[in-house]
Amino acid sequence: MALKKVRIHEAVGMVLGHDMTKIVPGEYKGPAFKKGHIIREEDIPHLLNIGKEHIYLLELGKDQVHENEAASRIANLVSGTNTYLTGPSEGKVTICAGQDGLLKINRAAVTEINTVDYTVLSTLHGNRLVQAGQILAGVKVVPLIVDKQTIRNVEQLAAQYQDIVAVKPLQSLKTGIITTGNEVFYGRIQDRFGPVLREKVETYNATFNGIAYQPDNTETIAQAIRTQAQAGSKVIIVTGGMSVDPDDVTPDAIRATGAEVITYGTPVLPGAMFMLAYLDDIAILGLPACGMFSKITVLDLVFPRILAGERLTKQDFAQMGYGGLCMGCEECTYPCCPFGK
């Protein structure tokens, strides 16, 4: 690359080879003049005001790439399903959500790409809900000019992955609720869990498919699960009776359906006594009492992924331990917090 340094007063009519940034503390940061701008006489005072007495005309070598092209090429390698690109602006390309859904980030791919010198790929945490138009990631290179080999190195790494940054839409799966416990079934206390859980189900745009009440009886709970399955529920949430007390039979009832238990117990607080099982393609969630008292629990980490079509494994739950401790903030800011990240 050859750089030609030109005094501002001699640059009228020349074309900028890069964006020039203007910063007003606390008010504005952005391009004052963008790449490709033709310098005019009236631009000179503005350029001087942002501390520019010279500009550099960039002459690229045959094996070199301008930062805008480099960022665009890398972003195209990284952006996946249901995303789109904006920019480049000031050398950065932004990856945005093309629709509402669950953000998926391949952390291994992001780490590998960032090992390539001068390459910057910065993303949000994955497995969080995002809205259409939301910024998911930013891509740029550090210098104004990079060697083409830098792009080739990224291409080789990115070729090993698909959908490095992608959005999965949530399906409106039919979701049934079974509330267990003699105290509720026999009317000794009013059910407070069911209404809270129904609201949660509808928050995630799942289809509420009814609620049933059962006593602490293994067979009747198991039969209620089968009935929900026959009614078309693709997700069945069973609440209550999830501890290890002798009267808490919900885990045994879930097993009695013949469902494959993925986990009973998770490294997530609140939600340690959570159970996930699959009856063919139907997800059965055993939800402990934390779901009634805590605004955000393990359910908020698991339910969206199921609605996005994922079939979770024991390994998925093992990974939830990192960041799985809710700090119990007085004012909940989830998902803009460390929980589940």
| pLDDT score recorded for residue 171 | 97
Please check the confidence at residue 1 and state whether its pLDDT lies above 60: no
Indicate the class that CATH gives domain 2-59.
alpha beta
Report whether pLDDT(326) > 80: yes
Residue 57: its pLDDT value, please? 67
Q: Which of 17-31, 183-197, 285-299 has the lowest mean pLDDT?
A: 17-31
Is the model's pLDDT at 24 over the cut of 70? no
Average pLDDT, integer, range 33-44: 80
pLDDT tens-place string over residues 239-264: 987 876 766 799 999 999 999 999 99
Q: Which of 1-5, 8-12, 102-106, 270-274 has the lowest mean pLDDT?
A: 1-5
> Distance between CA 320 and CA 308 in Å, rounded?
17
Among the listed residues 323, 285, 328, 288, the one whose alpha carbon sits nearest the alpha carbon of residue 128: 323
Over 80: is that where the pLDDT of 102 sits? yes
121 neighbors 127 (Cβ within 8 angstroms):
no
| 11 confidence band (pLDDT: 50, 70, 90) | confident
Phi, psi of 31 (to 5 degrees): -75, 125
Mean pLDDT of 89-96: 92
Q: Kindly report the CATH number that applies to the domain delimited by 64-168.
A: 3.90.1170.30
Q: What is the pLDDT of residue 92?
A: 94
At residue 74, the pLDDT reads 97
Asked whether 109 and 158 are in contact (CB, 8 A), the reply is yes
Q: Which CATH class is domain 174-319?
A: alpha beta
pLDDT of 149-169, one tens digit each? Answer: 999 999 999 999 999 999 999
| Structural element, H or E, at residue 43 | helix 43-49
| Amino acid identity, position 72 | S
pLDDT at 241 (0 to 100): 79
> Which pLDDT does position 58 carry in this prediction?
65
What residue ranges do the domains of the chain occupy?
2-59, 64-168, 174-319
- The whole-number pLDDT of residue 134 equals 98
Percent of the chain with pLDDT over 90: 66
pLDDT score of 6 more than 90: no
Average pLDDT of the residues of the chain: 90
Question: What is the band of 304 on the pLDDT scale with cuts at 50, 70, 90?
Answer: very high
Summarize pLDDT for 177-224 with one digit per residue, the tens: 999 987 776 777 777 778 889 999 999 999 999 999 999 999 999 999
Cis peptide bond upstream of 304, omega within 30:
no
User: For residue 29, what are its two tokens?
Assistant: 């940061």
Q: pLDDT (tens digit, 9 = 90+) per residue, 43-64? A: 888 888 888 888 776 667 788 8
Q: Per mean pLDDT, which range of 11-20, 156-165, 315-324 is the poorest?
A: 11-20
- 2 has a pLDDT exceeding 60: no
Residues 14, 191: Cα–Cα separation, whole Å: 74
Q: Residue 291: pLDDT above 70?
A: yes
- Report helix angle 67-78 to 148-158, nearest 10: 10
d(CA 186, CA 214): 9
What confidence category does residue 36 fall into, taking pLDDT thresholds of 50, 70 and 90? low
